[in-house]
Amino acid sequence: MNAVFWPSVVEIAAWGVALAWCARTTDALRNLPRVPNLTGIEWDVWPESLPGLTVIVAARDEAADIAATLDTLMQQDYENLRVIAVDDRSGDGTGAIMDRFAERFLGRLTVVHVTELPDGWLGKVHAMAVGLAMCETEYVLFTDGDVLFSPSILRRALAFGERERADHFVVVPTMQVKSWGEGVLLGFFQVLSLWVTRPWKASDPKAARDVVGIGAFNLFRRDALERLGGLAPQRLVVLEDITLARRAKVAGMRQRVAFAPGLVLVHWATGVGGLMQVMSKNLFSAFNFRPVLALAACLGIVVFCLAPLAGIFWWGTIVPGLLVVGCVTVGYRMYGLYSRPWYRYMGT
């Protein structure tokens, strides 16, 4: 009996996983094209009211990248723009580079040097709060010290945000890929994200679990942030971008997400080892540092991603296994069309 029972259970489970993948992939194929793309000519316009925008760049030990980030911000074609660069206790030349840019762009770029971290705060959130306290414009954009911006992206984003009356607006960045391993792993993470959140549902107030927050491009109306109580309520949060998005969702604010292939670039981490380290930290933080939940998530990855690959080598599960592989392949291709995870492959 056992010899017949267990293979049947495995086959049923394999088909259950395969059908789940098919359903989620079909949903993405149908709805992902609905997510706006800011590279379209319809968004190459000026926001109607020309609102003020402050970009807050919180950086620590980003000497290798901060100059490129500030340079792209200074080249923006949107003039009603102010940049606040916050040096969060850097031990390298980050602060000195910021100061040199501030001397070149007087009135457009302000530099703040954080030398001590107050009790009860994490460094990045505190740096963001320092910048926010100096913000007087209608909009505020939080970003990092290793992000590159095309000259028109801030104008396009404000035009979209104004038209949609968004309180919170995220632009999905294009991942810079500098090795084959990075490309494979980043592509897999993007496909896996379909099980975490559906970007086309971010604007739906009823879809409580579908939240998108990305540190590279987290744009808010300043009065919306004030209604949320600013950043103090999350002063000890590691994933500050997602937490902000969740707080805005709970508060019933208008949230929007858009793609902009090639207009916002970020190199997330160097090599497969670097990506795994970042993901391990983020995964643990996402589950509030609860080992049981983190282990459950890892088990889910094994069941939904690794087990189907093994199933290809057994005749009883080869068909559902191939279905899962097909869905993953479609996911790679689909996200490649919208966010180009292979952009600048080979470090060019």
What is the secondary structure of 30-66 as a DSSP string? HHGGGS-BTTSGGGSS--TT---EEEEEEESS-TTTH
Walk me through the domains of the chain, giving residue ranges and CATH numbers: 2-34+272-347 (no CATH), 41-271 (3.90.550.10)
pLDDT cut 70: percent of the chain above it: 88
**Amino acid, res. 55:** V
| Sheet of strand 255-259: strand arrangement | 109-114, 81-88, 53-59, 139-144, 218-221, 168-172, 255-259
Instruction: Calculate the alpha carbon distances from 284 to 20, 60, 290 in Å.
Output: 25, 22, 7
| Strand bridging mode 264-266 / 147-149 | antiparallel
CA–CA dist 60, 236 (Å, integer): 17
Please report the pLDDT score of residue 244 as a whole number. Answer: 93
Contact partners, residue 68, CB within 8 Å, separation at least 6: 148
CA distance 290 to 293: 6
Instruction: Answer yes or no: are the C-beta atoms of 176 and 344 closer than 8 Å.
Output: yes
Backbone angles phi, psi at 327, to 5 degrees: -65, -40
Mean pLDDT of 19-23: 94
Which burial class, exposed, middle or buried, applies to 320 when counting CB atoms under 10 A from its CB (0-12, 13-18, 19+)?
A: buried
The pLDDT of residue 217 is above 80: yes
Question: Given this model, what pLDDT does residue 347 score?
Answer: 37
Strand 109-114 and strand 81-88: the pairing is parallel
Instruction: Locate all alpha helices (DSSP H) within the chain, ordered by sequence.
Output: 2-31, 66-74, 94-104, 123-133, 153-164, 180-192, 222-227, 240-250, 271-286, 291-301, 307-311, 318-339
Q: Which tens digit of pLDDT belongs to each residue from 221-255? A: 999 999 999 999 999 988 899 899 999 999 999 99
pLDDT tens figures, 76-101: 999 999 999 999 999 999 999 999 99
Q: CA 312, CA 100: separation in Å to the nearest integer?
A: 58
Q: pLDDT at residue 279 above 50? A: yes
The reported pLDDT for the residue numbered 345 is 40
Q: Tell me how far apart the alpha carbons of residues 72 and 143 are, in angstroms, rounded to a whole number.
A: 13
What is the percent of the chain with per-residue pLDDT over 90, rounded to a whole number? 62
Pairing of strands 53-59, 139-144: parallel
The angle formed by the CA atoms of residues 55, 58 and 59, to the nearest 5 degrees, is 135
Over range 214-219, report the average pLDDT.
94
pLDDT at 275: 61
Please compute Rg for the chain using Cα positions: 22
Two structure tokens written together for 320: 């559902």
pLDDT digits (tens, 9 = 90+) for 103-161: 999 989 999 999 999 999 999 999 999 999 999 999 999 999 999 999 999 999 999 99
> What separation in angstroms does the CA of 194 have from each of 22, 31, 107?
12, 12, 43
**How many angstroms separate the first and last alpha carbons of the chain?**
60
